[in-house]
Structure 1
Amino acid sequence: MARFTSLLLLAAAALPFVFATQSADQCADSEFFYEAKTCCVPHGGVSNAPPPPQGSSQCPSDWYWDNTKACCLPPHPPTTTPQCGGSWSWNHGSSTCCDGGGSTTTTTPAPSANPVKSRSKPAHKRAATKARRSTFTCPDQLESCPISGLTGPTGDFECIDPQTELESCGGCASTGEGQDCTAIEGVWNVGCERGRCALYTCAQGYKLSADGTACEKL
C-alpha cells in the first residue's frame, strides 16, 4: 500500500511538468516557438509520427500529430493559415482540422516573441475562416476583415482577433485600420499585445528605437 501511494504522489508531482507551457526563450536552436500551443517544436518535425484519432481530428497534409499535446504540429513555422481537406476546417485553438465546416475558435495567448526571419511571417497566425459574408458571421470577440486579392477585394472575409493578430494588429490591415506587425522593417521578434505591435528584438544590423516602436539601422 505504501509503495502504491508513493507511485501516486510521484505521478501527481510529474503532471505540472507534462502540461507546463513554454516560452520562446526556452526553445533550443533546433526548435521554434509554436504560439498556438505555447510550446517549442523541432524544426523539420519528427519521424514516424502517429496518425490523429480516427474520425475526430485530422492534420493538414504537411503537419503531423503529437499524442502528448493531442494536436497537430507544424514541421516549420507556419506562414499561412493551414488548409484542411474536404469539409474539415482549421481550428486554431485546438490546432487540428475539425469536421463539419464550423467556424474556427481561438484562445487568448500570453504575449510572446515570434521570430520573423528573412521577412518570413511568424508562427502565430490568425484564427480565420474564409467565407462569403452572406453565409457566415464571426464568433464573439472576433472581427471580420475583407480579404484583398491581386486585383482588389475578393468578396470573402476572415475572422481575426485584433488584440493579438500579428498581421492585423488593432484592426483590419486590409482596410487600413490595423497594422501588420511582421512588415515592420528590421523586426526579429514581434508580438501583438492589446491591439498594438510590441517589438521585442531586432534583426542583425538593427537596434530597437528608444520608444520601442521601430527597429533602426545601425
Structure 2
Amino acid sequence: MASTSGRSFVTATTLFVVGLTLVRRASALRGCTPGFQSLGDGCVPCSAGTYGPNGRLCFPCPANSFSAEAASSCTVCPSGSTANSGSASCTPCSAGTYFAGSSCLSCPVNTYSAPLATSCTACPDQQVSDMGSSSCHACASGTHYDSGSCVIDTPTCTPGQYPLDGECSSCAANTYSSDGTECLPCPSNEVSVPASSSCHGCADGTHYDAESATCVTDPPMCPAGTYLNGNACTLCAAGSYSGDGATECEECPAGQFSWEGASACCPCCSGFYSDHPGASSCAQCATAGAYSVVGASSASACSSYYLGGQLSCPSAGPTCPDVGGANPSSLAHQTPVRRRAACALGQRSCPVYGVSATGHGYVRGSECVDVRTDLESCGGCVADDSPLGGRNADGGRDCSAIPHTGRVACRGGACVIESCASGFALSEDGEACVAPSKASGALHVQRRAAGHRARRSAMSL
C-alpha cells in the first residue's frame, strides 16, 4: 500500500513540472510582461538601471535617468542631479557646482552654490570666491578688494628698498631707490652696494670696469725701465728701454744698446757700432782701437787702422760706459777747454772729449752748457752720442740732428719741432717729422710717459 502511494506522488510531481514548463514555453512564445525579458524557457526581470518596454528585451536607462529592478521605463533624475547611462540612482550636483542640462559644472570665479543647484549665485559686494566655491569671503588682512579680486596692499618701504609681494625687498647692487618705491639702475660709471639709496663714482686709486660693473684698483705707475704687464711692472728686456708709466718698452735704435731694466739706451762707444735696433751690446770695429763716431750704426763708420777708439765698451750697466773721444778730423780746430769746478745756476758742466797724440781718447775738460735752451745739448750733455737727434744716456738730444725738420728749438730741456721739411709732417708725439702716411699712429708713445721724462729732465738741471 505504501509503495503504491509513493509512486503516485512521484508521478504527480513529474506531471506538475512538465505542465509548468509547458506553460512557461507558451508564455515565452506569447512574450513577457513589461519589465521582464525572455531568457531561455522563461521570463526574468530587468535589472536596476535598465527597463523592458515590450517584455522581450531590457535596455539601459539613458543618461540623467534611473530605474529600479523590473522597470518597464526609466525615471528622469530630479533637478540638480545627474546620472550616467544605465544608472540605478541619480547623483546630486555637489556644493560649488550646478546642473547645466547634462552634467554638473563648477561655479565660475566670484560665484557660489549649494548642493542640487541649477545655477550659481554671484558673491556679495566686496567679497570673492575661487572657481567651484560653495561660499564667498572677504579679502584677507594685508590685501584689499579691487575690481573683483583681492590684491596685496603696497607696503611703505624705506630708501634702498622697493615693494615686492606685499613686503619690502632690498635693491640689488648697482641699483638704488631714493624714495622706497622702485629700484633704478645707477648712472654710467657709478656703482652701489645692495640696499642703496644712491650711487657713487669710484674712489681715488680705482676706476670703473664696465665688464664687471665694479670699481677695480688702478694699475701701478711703472717706473722707468719697466712696463705694465697685466697688473704688475716687468723689467724691459735688454735692447729696449722705457720711461715712467710705460705700457710697453721701445727698442733701442741702431747705434745704441741697453741692458735689462734700462730707462734709456747708451750710444755705442767710439770704435764700436750696432747695425740693428734692439741691440744688447755693440760690435767692435774690425781693427781694435779703430775710430768710429760715438753711436755708429754701421761697420763702414770704422776707420781701417788704430786711431784712438775705445778697446772695450761694457754693456752690463747700470751706467753707460765711457764712450771715447771726439772725431779726430776736428782736433786741429779745437782749442783747449778750461776745466771748471762749477757752473752758473741753470747750467750743466758737460765733458769735452779729445784724442791724444798717441791716438787714445780722453776728456780734455768741461764746459758749462745751458741744457734748457742749447740746441745741440738739449736736456743733457751731448757729445756725438745723439745720432739722428735720439736721446742719449744722459737724457740729452741734439735737436739739430733730428731728420726732416724745418725749424726746431730747445725749450725747457726738450726739443720743440716748430715745422717740418716739405713732404713731412709732425708725428703724433711731436718728437719727429715723418712721412704723411705715418704721421698718425706711427709712433706709440704715451703722452703721460713723455710728460714724466720732460719733468725728469727739468728736475735734473
Verify same fold: TM over 0.5.
Answer: no
Larger gyration radius, structure 1 or structure 2: 2
TM-score computed with the length of structure 1 as normaliser: 0.36
